[in-house]
Amino acid sequence: MRALAPLAVLGLATATLTGCSTIQGIIDGPVLQDFAVGECLDTDGVVSGDETEVGTIPVVECTEAHDAEVYYVTDTTLTEFDEEALFDEVTTACLDEFQAYVGVAYDDSSIYYSAIYPTQDSWDIEDRQLVCLLTVDEDVTQSFQGSGV
């Protein structure tokens, strides 16, 4: 099995970007970025490494250059913040839903996945969204839905 490339994304300054993504500093108070299945994202210059401080992740048409695609979104079942339990929950969800979206098991695919989940700061402003992303090293101009790669 390949190594998991987790992505717990953190926001600008003291705000957090997570499942419902937040950005602070552009307008008064945080703004939530809701993710939807099938959205393609351009994380170049925004996301790198395991944890990154960012604002929002730009959504682009899947026919435009992008390096990530949302393939599963759900809310956590947890009622209290627990980072380890959130990580476990989103990891399980991403692995369970990978084949249904891509058309091939994760272990047999050339695509990786990353996960976005709440941090303590975003939890405090009602962020409960768990997001699974398909990720690739080079930009692509197509969706991976049903691709079997």
38-80 pLDDT per residue, tens: 999 998 877 555 554 445 789 999 999 999 999 999 999 999 9
- Name the CA radius of gyration of the chain, rounded: 14
Convert the pLDDT of each residue in 130-140 to its tens digit: 999 999 999 99
Segment 73-96 shows an average pLDDT of: 97
Segment 99-126 shows an average pLDDT of: 93
Residue 149 pLDDT level (bands cut at 50, 70, 90):
very high
Asked whether residue 147 is assigned to any structural domain, the reply reads: no
Asked whether residue 2 is assigned to any structural domain, the reply reads: no
Q: Please tell me the total number of residues recorded for the chain in this structure.
A: 149
Count of domains in the chain? 1
Asked whether residue 107 is assigned to any structural domain, the reply reads: yes
Q: Does position 27 have pLDDT exceeding 50, yes or no?
A: no
Q: Does position 35 have pLDDT exceeding 60, yes or no?
A: yes
Q: What is the pLDDT of residue 11?
A: 30
CB 36 within 8 A of CB 73: yes
Distance, CA of 134 to CA of 73 (rounded, Å):
12
Distance, CA of 29 to CA of 132 (rounded, Å):
26
Asked whether residue 146 is assigned to any structural domain, the reply reads: no
Whole-number average pLDDT of the chain: 79
**For the ranges 13-17, 31-35, 101-105, 122-126, which has the lowest average pLDDT?**
13-17
Asked whether residue 4 is assigned to any structural domain, the reply reads: no
Asked whether residue 108 is assigned to any structural domain, the reply reads: yes
Determine the structural domain holding residue 71 and report its residue range.
10-140
Q: What is the pLDDT of residue 101?
A: 98
